[in-house]
Each structure stands twice: as structure tokens, then as C-alpha cells.
Structure 1
Amino acid sequence: MRARKAPMKNTLLSRGLAGALALASLLGAAGADAQDRTLRVSLNTELQVLDPLVTTINATRVFAYLVYDTLVGVDGAGHYRPQMLEGWEVSPDRLTWTFTLREGLEWQDGTPVTAEDCLASIRRWSKREALGGQMMEAVREATVLDARRFRFRMSRPFAFVIEALGKSGHTIPVMMPARLANLDPHRAVPEVMGSGPFVFLQKEWRPGERASFVRNPRYRPRAEPADALAGGKVVKLDRVELVSVADQATRAVALQSGELDYLEILPLDFVVPMRRNRAVTVGTPRGIDQFLAVVNVNHAVPPFDNPKIRRAFQAAVQQPEVMAAMGLPDDLVVPWCGSIYMCNAPGSTEAGTEPLRAAGPERARALLKESGYKGEPVVFLHAQASALLNPIGLVVADQMRRAGFNVDLRSSDYATVAQRRLSRAPVEQGGWSVAPIVLNGIDAVNPLSNPLVAYNCSEVWPGWYCDPPTSRLLAEFSEAATPATRRALADRLQAAVHENVNFVLAGQFAGPPAWRSNLRGVVPFSFPVFWNIERR
């Protein structure tokens, strides 16, 4: 007689218990007081790169906000506030901007933060990031006035100077000393030297195992209460440890047992049972704090250099099917979303979404037949080890096959996918065709920084989409002075994205964080930040 297969939940639990025991051994037997003063965190991806300008992996963004600071910070309501800056002045014609740093800012080695450092950091960032690049194209002259002040003289009005300097999406405008910022922006800086609330213990760093941070004694928090990335970033615990835990079930069980304090994303199979556990708090992200699932499409090589084939792919992806595979409660999923600016968010719009609403295998097959597709291989990069990307990839790959695409599924970890996405080689020479990814909603709110449109005709973002009329619309948007004009242009930009099929949308959902209920002061945001937290 064949042995009966154990239920999946029990299998996950058993594996998680075994992993949690190993994790407890890894964390060691530090004294109770030291443990109480340490926040033990597991992120969804491992920290492998320490420069936030050379990768879009979310772990590096979390790292950046621990050790670096920004001139401007966005609060929970989406307003941009001075952070390192004391403030700024704008001339009536909007062509002169003067910025003043707060007094007493220091790098972690005790040297003062200067206007020269900040201007060098802005220049470095603008060479890697779409919004920064557009801003600096409008800057005729950038000048250091004195140790604490610098000035932009613009060649034309640019409507999003402050939003650019406070951009919290990937490729963040972090400040670093000029001696580092003046190095090649396409190579990671060789040293971590920030002015943020934490100091990274680089000598203790064990990639794939643990990264440790301690309170920065030289950091001067603002006087206002903490509010998302704005206000006073007051560190109330002595130490933060990012602990690498590859197995999803192990993460969940370790949180349950108290071996971990905080999970960036609670494994989706555990959301419902953890909601019943009083020792654990499960977050409920809404709107721009949710994720947008999209498929990165490689426009540079066949077959998706053909817009007709891209439209057939767009018609093949049925968002409700993809979102059902996530296994989340209904209140954490938006089954269908056609807005590149997120649904249930201030920028939501239905402009240009008609092709997405008509998705289905019959329409996709018809469009594929009309496109001239001849069965060329579609190399599908599938991040099998990712709790979020694995189900998305499996469903989208199946939908493509049903539409008639010749799908070559390449399964690996996300780091491998991220590296291969940088290749522009033909698929037969190690290239790729499509790759599901997820975007934080906070990255999508402004067309000038939204990866689905902001990198139009740019060499920076993998996929290399290019639609010349979109470039003109982006330029108009950058100068738009009124909300009504911005809204109209944002709608036109979204319609252009769907017409050109820059990316294919696969749905919107929440990857909820979870933390031990004895923590208070957790700052809700699109990604985890670790100031303001204390243990009850």
C-alpha cells in the first residue's frame, strides 16, 4: 500500500520547526538583555550589494535607509519634507533653487557633511536614475555657495525637484562623501560611509548569513515624530541584525517562536494562521504600500522586438488567475488592476486599459497568429526560490503556453534572474525574453520615476523599451505646473505604456510584513524601516 502524503501545511510546519532549531543555534546564546536590545529581521531577499545605485534588489534599499540619509523624506501621506535639509527657497519664476543643510550633520567617521558632498552625490545618482537624470538635464548650473548651501539655476522649470531629491523608489538619492560620490557611478563604491541612523558593521558581515548594524552615535534625528521616511529617525534599540533565512517555512516558525522579531514579507501560506496568533502582528498594506506584479519584456531581441507579438502576450495574461495563485485573503489582493500608478491610490486611472480588459487565450491566440510569430523560443526567467515570484511565474508561463508561445522556462534564484536580466544578448547566446518582477507601489506613483515608463529610450533599465512620443510626454509632464495638466499627461502616458506594451501587468497584491506583538513604534511603509521601534 502506498503511504499517504502528508498535508502540505504539516510538511511546511515540520520543515519550519527543523529550520527554526538550526536558526536558534545560528543566533547563539547571547544574554537575555542583549537579545532584548537587538531587532532580528529576515528580509525577503538577501543583502548582497551595498551600493543602492547599482542594484534594484529591495534588501539594498532597506540597507540604504539604515546607513545613509536623504535630503528630503516622504511622509505617510505622500508629502515631501526636509530631512537632511533645513529647507529650500524657490524664485518666483521657479528657475533658482537654493538648499540649506541642517547644522551639525556628520558622516559616521565624524567629518562634517558639506554642500559639496551633497552636490557630488546628486550628480552620481542622476547618472543612474531616470528622474534624477531628467532633473539634472534641466539644471543649467549647480553651485556650492558655502559649507551648508548649494544652488540650482535651471534652464527651464522642472516641476519635481523636491520629489526627485526625496525619491524613495529604487536607485535612491542617498548622500555620501564627495570622495566616494565622485567615483564611477556604474561601480559599487568601495566603502560604506553614511550619515544615517545606523552604522554597518562591515567586518562582521557574512553574506548569505547575517548583516549587523548598531546605533550611529553621531546621527542627529529631526525633532518631529517619525512619519514614514520623514521626521525623527530615533533609534531606540541598540542593534539590528538582518538574518538570512532561505526557507519560507523556517522564517514563519522562527517568528512564531520569537527567534525572529520581524519579517519583511510573511510567507503567504502563513498569513491566515498568523492572523489568529496574538503573539504576532500581521500588517495590512493598502494602495501604494502594496505590490504591482508585472512581467519585464525584452524589447531588444526577438520575438518581443515585434509590438504585435508583445500585444499577443499582453492579451494572454489574465490577472485574476495570477492573483488567485498567490493564496492570499481577499482583502490583500486586487484581482485586476490596469493602472501603472497602482489601484486604490491617488494616481489610479483607467486610461488606455481596454486591451488588458479583453485578455484571454482565444484573443491571445488570434493576435499571435496575426503577428507572424513562428514559434521562436521565449526564454522565461523564473525566480523559483522567491515566495512572491514563483507562483506568478508558473501561472504566466502556463498562460503563455495556452496562447501558443514556445516557452523555455529557466528556473533559478532571484539573484541569478536579476543578473541575467542585464544581458542584451540574443536568447540563443544566453539572453532572455520575459521575467516576472514585482514593484513596490511607492515606486510607481510618479511617471518620472515609475520604471514602467520613466526609462523610456534609456539604456539603464532591462527591457530597453522605446517609444519616441512617450519621451515628449515625459518632458511635458516634467514642466506641468498644475494638477489638472499633470493628471491629463499621466493618463496619456499610461495609455502609451499599454499601447507599446512596455511591460505586462499581472495584478496587485499585498506581501504583508509581520512582527512580534511585543514591538511598538513600527513605522508602516512600503518597505521596512527600523527606527522608532522599541520592545514592550
Structure 2
Amino acid sequence: MASLGKGALATATLVALVSGCSSTGPDPQQQEQARSLVIGATAQPESMDPTTQSGAAIPQALLYNVYETLVKIDGTGELKPLLAQKWTVSPDRLTYTFDLQPKAHFSDGDKVDAKAVVANIQRIRTDKRVVGTLKQEMSGVVSATATDADTVTVKLKTPSQSWLYAMASRAGIIADPDSFATLSSKPVGSGPFAFGAWKRGESVRLDRNKSYWGTPTHFETATFRYFADANSMNSAMLSGDLDIISDLTAPEAVDQFSDTSRYTVTEGTSNGEVVLGMNQGKGGNPALKKREVRQAIRHAIDRKALLETVWAGKGTMIGSMVPPTDPWYEDLSKDYAHDPTKARALLKQAGESNLTLRLRVPTLPYGPGSAQFISSQLKAVGITAKVEELDWARWLKEVHDDGNYDMTIVNHVEPRDIDKFADPTYYWHYDNPDFQKLIAQADKADNEQSVALMKQAAKTLSDDAAADFLWLFPHIVVTKADISGVPANATSESFDLTTVASRDA
């Protein structure tokens, strides 16, 4: 989940107080009048600890709402203070000093002090249960020390554009160290909400943290309800059972919410690259290690027609693992035009005929429809794609963790996640030393050089057909008309409730 955060380039103090911070809790009268908030979502969490489980379902509900971080990604993709009220970066970009919010406490009453922050950093670095991608994001840390009760100093091995940005996401969550042993079922963070209850497969309820150190939430409770079927979620919204659809997963149904006296529809952008992943390692078909085969697959798929068919044309063609909100974005969507004749020629060049591939996809709203469309187009060039649909938990275990697949389709929502292709152990098992070198050089370089190097990396990824980048997911949110403050863009893995308000609350 590495990235080029602008904060990493600062050599002077970056100071910005979190707006609206309050040393007092919410007014008792306001609490009595507060209402509950119900949010519809799709992917269900398999744990409450986002550091030991992959997938975006856990941080969607908990990041920034329950778990806070030193810095936060705002609605424009920029880094802002959160638990760190300010920070400085040494001229050599190796030492970060964070001044913590002195009034911040965990929901159980323990203080968010420097020792707690250091314990969380050390946990990511050393706990064997933590997922490998987060360990990789923290691998550049030499030491983290509590200079005093409210000051943390972190030293890095080499300058890094990505490290501070990673600290705004899952690798940087600050949980109460006393709760480390039970985070999977009972998370304890410092956010405006405290963990309430989890009904596996149904819902996650968050309760107002009445002693929150900052601006209190407007709601007594916030409940994420999970729907396997997009139409069921839409029906729940139409019947008044939901206040928010977190991401409309049946975009052709958006006209159902055209009554502006009842609903508000917001269409923003996201970091979500819908990727046709190809397993180029153990567990995958060896043919996918051949560049010509991967190129043939890209030429065989009419991505624009796919978007129109599966997602009602809602989305953006990108061509690589970079959304337009990243500073190194270039439109590479025309690199592989739909050309079945060229696809067949590339397969012949690769010596592959009658190729059969397993296309194993999650039963998320975009998965099965995309898989059937792609299977049909691959058949036209001589590739048989056998589609298998898996529930999310099974997909995480068999595809993501075990690598038991040839191709898959997943919306990757982590911010600035192109560097996942630089990790050969990641579930695609893409191993390109030239790409890895570009990513490493970009991470160490200054801002201008980094942007140029990242553009080269994105182009290399596209040219090598590391995957097929089908489209960029739109962020379509539906709310009741009285709800306000929902961020227009999805710039992090969080469905951030900290600014959401209601005229009735």
C-alpha cells in the first residue's frame, strides 16, 4: 500500500490542528436527540483486526471511525494530522518526530501516549500474525522511540516517499496495547466511535465514544449492514431501512433514487482499480508467465464494452494501476486496443493453443458478471476460461492466501497500491526486476524525480501486461436527503463517518 505522500518531503514543521477538536464530550442534550445511522455495504469482515486479515471490509468500517492513525488521508488524497497534531521531518528525510494530541484517549480510558504508539509500530514489525504487505510497509523502520509522553521519534533506513502515507492506513492504526490479544473480536481504538457488536455475516455496530478527545459524532450508533445482493440493498434503502448506501453496486439502478426530496446521490472517484489478476507463480497456469499470453488476454477484452455491460458505463478507463488522483497518473487505457486478431497471433507466437484457465472470482457485485463477459471474449480467441464463483471468505483463503487460481477479478481499493506489483510474494506473483527497481528508486527520490519514476513504473506495468486493468471503480453513494457530510471521493479504505451529520441528529 506504499505511496508518495507529500508530507514525507517536508523539512520544516508541518502544523495543522485537527479542526473542531474539543476537550469536552458531547452535550448530554445532544446525546438524547441523537439518532442511529445505518449504512449498507457488501464485503463482510472476517475479523475486527485489519492488520491480520486482508481485504477492505474491516478498514471500511473501523478505520478513522474506531481506529485512528497518526496522520489521515483527506477527501483530496492529502495527508492531514490526526493523533499527531504536528510532525517534523529531518533534512535527510530519515527521522520523523510526531507531537501527539495530548488529550487523546482510547475508548476504554487509557491515554494515547508515545509508548502506545511505539508498541503499535513494533507490533506491525514483529508480530507473525500481521499480514506481509503491512510488514513490508514498516520494513524501512530502524527504530521507534518514545522521546517523552507525547513525542514519538521514528528513524528510517533510507528516505521513503511511501512510509508516512502507509501510516495513514492499516499499517498505522493505533490500538490500545492492552487490547492486542483481543483485537480480532473486540477492537479498542481512540476514534469517535467505539466497537459495539459484530453479528458475523450480518452487521457491525459502532457506538458513540462518549469520551472522544475530538469533535464528537452526531450519532449514538452507526451500523454497517451487509448485503450479498445489490438489489436487496437497494430495496432496503427504498423502504427506509438504510440511511446510506456506501457504494452503489447496481449502478444501472441509480434512477431509483432520483427523487431529491428523499435521496441524495453523490458520484465521486475512488482508488478502486478493478483488476483482472493473472497468477504468474506456483498454483497458476505456467502459460501466464509468458508475456505474449498476458498481452493476448489484454487484446482479447473490450474493456469499454465490459464497463457498459457490467457497470452501466459508470467508471473510468485507466490502463494501469494508477487512478487519476495520483500525481503520476497518465491515461494508458489505449495501450491494448481490443484486437482479437492480434490476440490470436500472440497466442500462436507463444506456442499456446487450446489454453484453459481457471477464472475464480468473488461473489461481489462486479465479479460474476465481469467473469462471464471476459470468458466469452477469451473464447473468441481460443482461450477457455472456466468461471468459478467463491464467497468472499473462501476467495480470501483459496485465491489471495493460497494462490489456487489462474485468473481472478478484484477491486483493489487501497490508496497508491501500484507497489503491490513490486512484491513477488503478493498473490499475483508478478516478478519483474526492472519494475521493482523503479519502485525502489521512486521511493527514495525527491518529489519531482519520484513522479517521473512512478510514471515509468506504471508504463512498464502496462507494457508487460502484468494484469489487465479493467476500469476504475466509481464512488456512487446514496443517502437519505437529510444526511450530509459524506465524503464525495473514496481516497482511503475507510468509509469515513467522522464528518457525517443529519438534520435530525
Contact 1:268 / 1:326 at 8 angstroms: preserved in 2?
no
Instruction: Report the equivalent of 2:136.
Output: 133
Amino acid at match of 2:482: N
Alignment match, 2:502: 535
Choose the corresponding residue for 1:363, options 308, 333, 342: 342
Query: What residue number does 2:219 align with?
Result: 237
Aligned counterparts of 1:261 and 1:371: Cα–Cα separation in 2: 53
Structure 2 equivalent of residue 25 of structure 1? none
Deviation per CA, 1:498-517, whole angstroms, max 9, x where unpaired? 23332211122414111111
Deviates more, 1:368-377 or 1:468-477: 368-377
Name 1:308's counterpart in structure 2: 292
2:344 corresponds to 1:377: no
Question: Which of the residues 388, 403, 406 maps onto 1:433?
Answer: 406
Residue 282 of structure 1 deviates from its aligned partner by 1.1
Q: Deviations over 1:292-331 (max 9, x none)?
A: 2211111113231333322221222221111111343x5x
Q: In 2, distance between residues paired with 1:420 and 1:128?
A: 16
| Residue identity in the other structure for 1:308 | E
Among 504, 507, 510, the residue aligned to 2:468 = 504
Contact 1:322 1:392 in 2 (8 A): yes
Q: Structure 2: how far apart are the matches of 1:213 and 1:365? A: 53
State the TM-score, normalized to the length of structure 2: 0.84
- Give the whole-Å Cα distance in 2 for the aligned partners of 1:136 and 1:271: 44
Letter in structure 2 aligned against 1:361: P
C-alpha RMSD of matched pairs (Å): 2.7
After TM superposition, the structure 1 = structure 2 runs for residues 59-78 of structure 1, keeping only pairs within 5 Å, are 59-65=57-63, 66-78=65-77
2:310 matched residue in structure 1: 326
Change (3 A) 1:521 1:466: same
Instruction: Report the counterpart of residue 467 of structure 1 in structure 2.
Output: 432
Contact kept? 1:197, 1:215, Cα under 8 Å: yes
- Give 1:149 deviation, angstroms: 1.7
Q: Distance in 2 between matches of 1:418 and 1:35?
A: 41
Residue 418 (structure 1) shift: 2.5
Equivalence for 1:494: 458
Match of 2:323 in 1: 342
* Residue 293 of structure 1: aligned partner: 274
Amino acid at match of 1:208: G
Note if contact 1:99-1:150 (Cα within 8 Å) is conserved in structure 2.
yes
Distance 1:36 1:217, change over 3 A: closer
Q: 1:129 to 1:73 in 2, by over 3 A?
A: farther
Amino acid at match of 2:191: G
Structure 2 counterpart of 1:165? 167
Following superposition, the deviation at residue 121 of structure 1 comes to 1.8
1:38, 1:148 → 2: CA distance? 34
Deviation at 1:472, TM superposition (A): 1.6
Cα contact 1:72–1:165 (8 A) shared by 2: yes
Correspondence 1:417 to 2:395: yes
**Deviations, residues 70-98 of structure 1 (Å, cap 9, x unaligned):** 11012223221110012112222223221
Q: 1:47 and 1:140 mapped to 2: Cα distance?
A: 32
With over 3 angstroms needed to count, the CA separation of the structure-2 counterparts of 1:276 and 1:56, relative to structure 1, is: farther
Q: 1:290 to 1:106 in 2, by over 3 A?
A: closer
Cα distance change, pair 36–245 in 1 and its aligned pair in 2 (3 A): farther
1:107-133 CA-to-partner distances (Å, cap 9, x unmatched) read 221111222221232243356465763
Matched, 1:85 2:64: no
Query: Could you list the runs of 5+ residues in structure 1 that have no partner in the other structure?
Result: 1-32, 222-231, 426-430
Task: Please give the alpha-carbon distance, in whole angstroms, between the structure 1 residues aligned to 2:393 and 2:184.
Answer: 20
**Deviating more after overlay: 80-89 vs 152-161:** 152-161
The superposition leaves residues 167-197 of structure 1 with CA deviations (integer Å, 9 ceiling, x where unpaired) of 4xxx44211133555x7xxx97454121111
Q: Secondary structure at the match of 2:166?
A: helix
- Separation of aligned partners in 1, 2:183 and 2:338: 42
Tell whether 2:447 aligns with 1:454.
no
Moved more, 412-421 or 102-111: 412-421
1:213 Cα offset (Å)? 1.2
Aligned equivalents of 2:150, 2:329: Cα separation in 1: 39
Partner of 2:193: 198
Alignment partners' CA distance in 1, 2:253 and 2:459: 37
The letter for the 2-side match of 1:249 is N
Is the Cα contact below 8 Å between 2:264 and 2:479 reproduced in 1?
yes
- Which residue identity does 1:239 align to in structure 2? T
The question of 1:57 aligning with 2:55 is answered yes
Structure 2 residue runs without a partner (length 5+):
1-30
Structure 2 residue identity aligned to 1:530: L
1:333 deviates by 2.9
For 1:217, the equivalent position in structure 2 comes to: 210
Label 1:76 to 1:244 Cα distance change in 2 as closer, same or farther (>3 A). Answer: closer
Question: 1-side partners of 2:195 and 2:274: how far apart?
Answer: 32
Q: Residue 245 and residue 130 in structure 1: after superposition, are their counterparts in 2 closer, same or farther (change >3 A)?
A: closer
Query: Which shifted more, 471-480 or 238-247?
Result: 238-247
**Residues 497 and 238 (structure 1 numbering): CA distance in 2 closer, same or farther, change over 3 Å?**
same
SS in 2 for 1:312: helix
Cα deviations across residues 368-417 of structure 1 (Å, max 9, x unaligned)? 1111224343111133x422223222212222222211212112333322
Shift of the 400–154 alpha-carbon distance from structure 1 to 2, 3 Å rule, reads same
- Cα distance in 2 for partners of 1:345, 1:160 equals 13
SS of structure 1 residue aligned to 2:342: helix
Give the deviation of 1:275 after TM superposition. Answer: 2.4
Cα distance, 1:254 vs structure 2: 1.9
CA contact under 8 A between 1:521 and 1:533: conserved in structure 2?
A: yes
Relative to structure 1, the CA distance from residue 455 to residue 174 in structure 2 (aligned partners, 3 Å threshold; closer, same or farther) is farther
Q: Which residue of 2 aligns with 1:30?
A: none
| Structure 1 contact 131–454 (Cα < 8 Å) conserved | no
Q: Is the 8 A contact 1:323 1:509 kept in 2?
A: no
Task: List per-residue Cα deviations over 1:445-500 (Å, max 9, x = no partner).
Answer: x3xxx1x43342342x31111111222211211111132x1221011101221233
